[in-house]
Chains A and B, each alone.
Chain A
């Protein structure tokens, strides 16, 4: 039998939303409803066609070796009677017409020839920023073709909504090498479930752990490996492959086996659940949301958040939780597609639950899913949970600031008459935190002293409190400590424009045994 020859073929074509599956040579499988088939592929096409993304052309690589598919193929598809290819297509999306993309890529190769790699690198980065939307691996599976897909997220501002801000905190920079040129896109990998090596639970873990890899050196893993790790110790709900779904326990087992600590929390209280979601996304930790429609349980991965700045904040005891401004989250839902907006709503009265309302497509009905559990993949040395950090923030920091505000209000201080004291919490790698503090809004003396005088845990818990009568104050928490023995690394004031700031920060530091690590602006 002769060896099948293969060769690379790169095509540049104009993008047409309706013709996207046909352009890739994909037709509905014979045992599938042609309307429902390829819904994720159609979602991808509508996403990149959106006015805020504006795809104009495609670059299609006909022969692409994808690590995930190769692994899936080796453990599953190679054992089918039907011969599946072990290679994929890869399609790149651009915001320029096809002829311009072809020309610009040729120019980049010419820049490398004539001006060297640094000039080519800089020019490639400029092209990526200007017009590279990302890529999708198209697997040779007619029924479930969408493989590893990394697309640019929506811009921060939504047209016509100045008070709504999107923040895709769980995305990071990905590189794609095409015809000798390196292009880059900021996103988080997505793929659809194939119901063979991966169901939704596996895919949600796969996406979430891709984010973890951005700041921790954990091993490379594929959906097949995640499913195998999850089902190594028990088969609660049937065989491992074809995947019949995972239990929450199996999801935790898989996360642990990859070298990350699974923190599972029940989402009983809607406000606490919303706060945990906010803190996780604010921290850049992609949370896995377990949700139910009353019949099935489903898992999706949180990628970003939508904050409504003028939304009325939830206030309790004079303390407002910034998390209550979280209007929506953006999720990778392997049944639908990447960056799906899910509005958050509490339903069922004061003892109700937090629901996600999704409307992926104008032609589809709204979908309501109730949040039941949250799974956070965390570094093992982060022992303080988001909930514990929030409790510490409310009880031991914000309550003191509010107590001081009441004292000043009693003395007739005008600016202390207005509240609320607003707080937020997050957990961050210390090195990232220190870099983010280097901006004009934070007094340079404070950030300099912080960099030179303070010892940090690998991850730092940040409690940030602000109110009209003070400059923002931060309390930094050692995340290697535990709930009953929380250690405050430092207390700092971001600025010194208001006289109450130093007194408030000093009072907090005194009671947190942190007076020798109190950082205040010098002037």
Chain B
């Protein structure tokens, strides 16, 4: 029954919209964390001036 099986997995316009809505919900969840990471990762002058000089 290939047709029936194909239909089970297929995405019509409405199903695509549902998939995109679910993806958007996930993006929103991820974004909060991602934005916080990006803000905290901004480089400043202090980052460039740290002295790297550990001795053995």
Contacts and interface: CB of A to CB of B under 8 A. Distances in A.
Interface string A241-260: 00011111101100000000
A245 B23 CA distance: 48
A390 B28 CA distance: 16
Contacts of A317: 25-26, 29-30
A16 to B, nearest CB: 24
A10 interface: no
Nearest to B22: A403
Contacts of B26: 317-319, 399, 402-403
> Max chain A CB contacts within 10 Å: which of B15, B27, B34, B50?
B50
B21 to A, nearest CB: 7
Interface in A295-350: 296-299, 316-319, 334-336
Interface string A375-414: 0000000000001000100110001101110111001010
Given A264-B43, A391-B34, A407-B11, A399 B27 contact: yes
A500 interface: yes
A28 to B, nearest CB: 14
A246 B52 contact: yes
Contacts of B30: 316-317, 319, 394-395, 399
Contact of B56 (A245, A248, A335): A335
Contacts of B47: 248, 264, 266, 373
Most buried by A among B23, B27, B37, B41: B23
A62 B26 CA distance: 64
B22 A407 contact: yes
A408 B6 CA distance: 12
Given A268-B41, A297-B54, A399-B27, A406 B48 contact: no
A403 B20 contact: yes
Q: Is the interface of A mostly helix, strand, loop or mixed?
A: mixed
Interface residues of A, number: 59
A23 interface: no
A266 B48 contact: no
Question: Which of A244, A293, A399 counts the most chain B CB atoms within 10 A?
Answer: A399
A399 B18 CA distance: 12
Pick the most buried of B21, B37, B54: most chain A CB atoms within 10 A of its CB: B54
A296 B19 contact: no
A368 to B, nearest CB: 13
A231 interface: no
Contacts of B48: 247-249, 252, 264
A407 B50 contact: no
A260 to B, nearest CB: 18
Interface string B37-56: 10011110001111111111
A500 B9 CA distance: 6
B37 A403 contact: no
Contacts of A247: 48-52
A395 B27 contact: yes
Contact of A499 (B5, B11, B19, B34): B5
Nearest to A372: B50
Nearest to A288: B52
Interface of B: 5-6, 8-11, 15-16, 18-27, 29-31, 33-34, 36-37, 40-43, 47-56
Given A200-B53, A407-B18, 11 more contacts: A245-B53, A266-B43, A269-B37, A317-B26, A317-B29, A336-B56, A400-B19, A403-B19, A403-B26, A404-B11, A503-B11
